[in-house]
Amino acid sequence: MAQPARFTFDLDMGKRSAAAPVKATVPEDLVAQLVAQAREEAYAEGMAAGERNSTAMAAQTLASAAAALATHTAEMAAALDDATNEARREAIELAATVGRKLALHLLARYPTLELDALIAECMQSLNGVPHLVIRCHPSIADGIRDVATAHMQTSGFSGRLVVMGDPDQRVGDGKLEWVDGGLVRDIGAVSKDIDRKISAYLAAKAGSGKAQESSP
Protein backbone atom coordinates (compact mmCIF):
# COMPACT_ATOMS: atom_id res chain seq x y z
CA MET A 1 0.00 0.00 0.00
CA ALA A 2 1.37 3.26 -0.89
CA GLN A 3 2.22 5.78 1.99
CA PRO A 4 0.46 9.14 1.87
CA ALA A 5 2.74 12.02 1.09
CA ARG A 6 3.32 14.64 3.84
CA PHE A 7 1.91 18.12 3.33
CA THR A 8 4.60 20.69 3.65
CA PHE A 9 4.06 24.43 3.87
CA ASP A 10 6.22 26.63 1.87
CA LEU A 11 6.52 29.08 4.75
CA ASP A 12 9.31 29.75 7.17
CA MET A 13 7.55 30.49 10.53
CA GLY A 14 10.73 31.71 12.16
CA LYS A 15 11.31 34.41 9.62
CA ARG A 16 7.90 36.16 9.83
CA SER A 17 8.31 39.90 9.57
CA ALA A 18 7.01 42.10 12.45
CA ALA A 19 3.84 44.05 11.74
CA ALA A 20 4.14 47.86 11.61
CA PRO A 21 2.79 49.71 14.74
CA VAL A 22 -0.63 51.34 14.45
CA LYS A 23 -0.73 55.08 15.32
CA ALA A 24 -3.94 56.29 17.05
CA THR A 25 -5.13 59.72 15.91
CA VAL A 26 -7.79 62.02 17.63
CA PRO A 27 -9.76 64.41 15.49
CA GLU A 28 -8.82 68.02 15.99
CA ASP A 29 -12.42 69.14 16.42
CA LEU A 30 -12.84 66.67 19.33
CA VAL A 31 -9.69 68.00 20.96
CA ALA A 32 -10.97 71.56 20.61
CA GLN A 33 -14.31 70.50 22.08
CA LEU A 34 -12.64 68.85 25.09
CA VAL A 35 -10.43 71.87 25.68
CA ALA A 36 -13.43 74.22 25.52
CA GLN A 37 -15.38 72.01 27.92
CA ALA A 38 -12.46 71.95 30.34
CA ARG A 39 -12.23 75.74 30.19
CA GLU A 40 -15.97 76.10 30.86
CA GLU A 41 -15.79 73.73 33.85
CA ALA A 42 -12.78 75.58 35.26
CA TYR A 43 -14.51 78.93 34.77
CA ALA A 44 -17.71 77.71 36.43
CA GLU A 45 -15.73 76.27 39.37
CA GLY A 46 -13.82 79.55 39.73
CA MET A 47 -17.03 81.58 39.66
CA ALA A 48 -18.63 79.33 42.30
CA ALA A 49 -15.57 79.63 44.52
CA GLY A 50 -15.57 83.40 44.04
CA GLU A 51 -19.26 83.61 44.91
CA ARG A 52 -18.74 81.54 48.04
CA ASN A 53 -15.85 83.75 49.07
CA SER A 54 -17.83 86.92 48.34
CA THR A 55 -20.83 85.61 50.28
CA ALA A 56 -18.66 84.78 53.29
CA MET A 57 -16.99 88.19 53.17
CA ALA A 58 -20.35 89.93 52.79
CA ALA A 59 -21.78 88.00 55.76
CA GLN A 60 -18.77 88.91 57.89
CA THR A 61 -19.01 92.56 56.85
CA LEU A 62 -22.73 92.59 57.56
CA ALA A 63 -22.20 91.04 61.00
CA SER A 64 -19.53 93.63 61.83
CA ALA A 65 -21.76 96.45 60.62
CA ALA A 66 -24.70 95.10 62.68
CA ALA A 67 -22.54 94.91 65.80
CA ALA A 68 -21.27 98.46 65.26
CA LEU A 69 -24.83 99.67 64.65
CA ALA A 70 -26.07 97.98 67.83
CA THR A 71 -23.29 99.60 69.87
CA HIS A 72 -23.95 102.99 68.31
CA THR A 73 -27.70 102.61 68.88
CA ALA A 74 -27.16 101.73 72.53
CA GLU A 75 -24.91 104.76 72.97
CA MET A 76 -27.49 107.00 71.28
CA ALA A 77 -30.28 105.58 73.47
CA ALA A 78 -28.22 106.19 76.61
CA ALA A 79 -27.43 109.74 75.49
CA LEU A 80 -31.09 110.33 74.70
CA ASP A 81 -32.12 109.05 78.14
CA ASP A 82 -29.56 111.32 79.79
CA ALA A 83 -30.79 114.29 77.76
CA THR A 84 -34.41 113.47 78.58
CA ASN A 85 -33.67 113.17 82.30
CA GLU A 86 -31.73 116.43 82.24
CA ALA A 87 -34.54 118.22 80.39
CA ARG A 88 -37.08 116.81 82.85
CA ARG A 89 -34.97 117.92 85.80
CA GLU A 90 -34.53 121.43 84.40
CA ALA A 91 -38.25 121.72 83.59
CA ILE A 92 -39.28 120.64 87.09
CA GLU A 93 -36.76 122.91 88.76
CA LEU A 94 -37.94 125.80 86.60
CA ALA A 95 -41.57 125.06 87.50
CA ALA A 96 -40.66 124.91 91.19
CA THR A 97 -38.78 128.20 90.97
CA VAL A 98 -41.69 129.88 89.21
CA GLY A 99 -44.07 128.43 91.79
CA ARG A 100 -42.02 129.82 94.67
CA LYS A 101 -41.89 133.26 93.10
CA LEU A 102 -45.64 133.23 92.52
CA ALA A 103 -46.22 132.10 96.11
CA LEU A 104 -44.06 134.94 97.44
CA HIS A 105 -45.86 137.41 95.19
CA LEU A 106 -49.26 136.22 96.41
CA LEU A 107 -48.13 136.37 100.04
CA ALA A 108 -46.90 139.90 99.57
CA ARG A 109 -50.20 140.87 97.98
CA TYR A 110 -52.47 138.80 100.26
CA PRO A 111 -50.49 138.24 103.48
CA THR A 112 -53.44 136.86 105.46
CA LEU A 113 -54.73 134.49 102.78
CA GLU A 114 -52.98 131.31 103.92
CA LEU A 115 -53.80 131.79 107.61
CA ASP A 116 -57.36 132.67 106.66
CA ALA A 117 -57.81 129.26 105.06
CA LEU A 118 -56.11 127.53 108.01
CA ILE A 119 -58.34 129.27 110.59
CA ALA A 120 -61.50 128.47 108.62
CA GLU A 121 -60.49 124.80 108.43
CA CYS A 122 -59.71 124.28 112.12
CA MET A 123 -62.54 126.30 113.66
CA GLN A 124 -65.09 123.87 112.24
CA SER A 125 -63.85 121.28 114.75
CA LEU A 126 -63.15 123.48 117.80
CA ASN A 127 -66.57 123.38 119.47
CA GLY A 128 -66.12 123.25 123.22
CA VAL A 129 -62.48 124.37 123.09
CA PRO A 130 -61.96 127.06 125.78
CA HIS A 131 -59.51 129.22 123.84
CA LEU A 132 -57.62 129.55 120.56
CA VAL A 133 -54.24 131.25 120.29
CA ILE A 134 -53.02 132.46 116.91
CA ARG A 135 -49.39 133.48 116.47
CA CYS A 136 -48.47 135.45 113.35
CA HIS A 137 -46.16 138.18 112.13
CA PRO A 138 -46.89 141.49 113.95
CA SER A 139 -47.56 143.29 110.64
CA ILE A 140 -50.65 141.17 109.97
CA ALA A 141 -51.88 140.59 113.55
CA ASP A 142 -54.79 143.04 113.28
CA GLY A 143 -55.89 141.60 109.97
CA ILE A 144 -55.74 138.04 111.31
CA ARG A 145 -57.80 139.08 114.33
CA ASP A 146 -60.53 140.41 112.04
CA VAL A 147 -60.42 137.26 109.93
CA ALA A 148 -60.60 134.96 112.97
CA THR A 149 -63.48 136.98 114.50
CA ALA A 150 -65.46 136.65 111.28
CA HIS A 151 -64.91 132.88 111.26
CA MET A 152 -66.02 132.61 114.88
CA GLN A 153 -69.40 134.00 113.92
CA THR A 154 -69.93 131.47 111.14
CA SER A 155 -68.31 128.40 112.71
CA GLY A 156 -69.93 128.39 116.13
CA PHE A 157 -66.63 128.62 118.01
CA SER A 158 -67.39 130.39 121.30
CA GLY A 159 -64.07 130.12 123.11
CA ARG A 160 -61.60 132.87 123.80
CA LEU A 161 -59.60 134.17 120.84
CA VAL A 162 -56.03 135.38 121.37
CA VAL A 163 -54.01 136.79 118.45
CA MET A 164 -50.34 137.39 119.18
CA GLY A 165 -47.80 139.19 117.00
CA ASP A 166 -44.68 137.03 116.89
CA PRO A 167 -41.60 138.47 115.13
CA ASP A 168 -40.21 134.96 114.70
CA GLN A 169 -43.07 134.20 112.33
CA ARG A 170 -42.64 135.20 108.70
CA VAL A 171 -45.42 136.96 106.86
CA GLY A 172 -47.86 134.29 105.76
CA ASP A 173 -46.70 131.79 108.40
CA GLY A 174 -48.47 131.21 111.67
CA LYS A 175 -49.42 128.85 114.48
CA LEU A 176 -52.82 127.94 115.83
CA GLU A 177 -52.77 126.48 119.35
CA TRP A 178 -55.48 125.15 121.64
CA VAL A 179 -55.58 122.97 124.73
CA ASP A 180 -54.96 119.59 123.16
CA GLY A 181 -53.72 120.40 119.69
CA GLY A 182 -52.47 122.87 117.15
CA LEU A 183 -51.66 123.60 113.52
CA VAL A 184 -48.60 125.19 111.95
CA ARG A 185 -48.33 127.01 108.65
CA ASP A 186 -44.65 127.11 107.64
CA ILE A 187 -44.03 127.99 104.02
CA GLY A 188 -40.32 127.16 104.38
CA ALA A 189 -41.15 123.63 105.55
CA VAL A 190 -43.62 123.22 102.70
CA SER A 191 -40.96 124.34 100.21
CA LYS A 192 -38.45 121.83 101.61
CA ASP A 193 -41.05 119.08 101.40
CA ILE A 194 -41.67 119.98 97.76
CA ASP A 195 -37.93 119.85 97.08
CA ARG A 196 -37.70 116.39 98.67
CA LYS A 197 -40.57 115.11 96.58
CA ILE A 198 -39.02 116.55 93.42
CA SER A 199 -35.67 114.90 94.23
CA ALA A 200 -37.38 111.58 94.95
CA TYR A 201 -39.32 111.79 91.69
CA LEU A 202 -36.22 112.53 89.62
CA ALA A 203 -34.25 109.77 91.36
CA ALA A 204 -37.06 107.30 90.68
CA LYS A 205 -37.15 108.29 87.02
CA ALA A 206 -33.37 107.94 86.70
CA GLY A 207 -33.46 104.55 88.42
CA SER A 208 -36.26 103.36 86.14
CA GLY A 209 -34.27 104.42 83.08
CA LYS A 210 -31.15 102.51 84.23
CA ALA A 211 -33.22 99.43 85.02
CA GLN A 212 -34.62 99.45 81.48
CA GLU A 213 -31.11 99.78 80.03
CA SER A 214 -29.80 96.79 81.99
CA SER A 215 -32.80 94.54 81.20
CA PRO A 216 -32.31 92.17 78.24
What mean pLDDT is predicted for residues 102-125?
86
Q: Is residue 121 part of a domain?
A: yes
Give the whole-angstrom CA distance, residue 201 versus residue 205: 6
Q: What are the pLDDT digits (tens) for 139-183?
A: 999 999 999 999 998 888 889 999 999 999 999 899 999 998 899
Q: Is residue 104 part of a domain?
A: no
pLDDT category of residue 131 using cuts at 50, 70 and 90: very high
Q: Name the range with the highest mean pLDDT among 1-5, 28-32, 61-65, 138-142.
A: 138-142
Residue percentage of the chain with pLDDT more than 70:
84
**In angstroms, what CA-CA distances link 113 with 49, 79, 157, 172?**
89, 46, 20, 7
Give the whole-angstrom CA distance, residue 50 versus residue 58: 12
Which range is least confidently modeled, 25-29, 73-77, 133-137, 141-145? 25-29
Which range is least confidently modeled, 3-12, 33-42, 115-124? 3-12
Q: Is residue 146 part of a domain?
A: yes
- pTM for this predicted structure: 0.54
Q: Is residue 150 part of a domain?
A: yes
Which range is least confidently modeled, 39-48, 84-93, 204-213? 204-213
CATH value at residue 175? 3.30.2320
Query: How many whole angstroms from its chain centre is CA 190?
Result: 32
Q: Is residue 127 part of a domain?
A: yes
Q: Is residue 176 part of a domain?
A: yes
Q: What is the mean pLDDT of the chain?
A: 80
Q: What are the pLDDT digits (tens) for 53-65?
A: 778 777 788 788 8
Give the whole-angstrom CA distance, residue 179 versus residue 162: 13
Residues of the domain holding 117: 111-185
176 burial via Cβ count (<10 Å: 0-12, 13-18, 19+): buried
Q: Is residue 202 part of a domain?
A: no
Q: What is the pLDDT of residue 141?
A: 95
Is residue 111 scored above 50 in pLDDT?
A: yes
Number of Cβ atoms within 10 Å of the Cβ of 151: 20
In total, how many domains does the chain have? 1
Q: Is residue 159 part of a domain?
A: yes
Q: What is the pLDDT of residue 166?
A: 94
The DSSP-derived string for the chain is -PPPPPP--S--GGGPPPPPPPPP---HHHHHHHHHHHHHHHHHHHHHHHHHHHHHHHHHHHHHHHHHHHHHHHHHHHHHHHHHHHHHHHHHHHHHHHHHHHHHHHHHH-TTHHHHHHHHHHHTT-TT-SEEEEEE-GGGHHHHHHHHHHHHHHH---SEEEEEE-TTSPTT-EEEEETTEEEEE-HHHHHHHHHHHHHHHHHHHHHHHHHHHH--
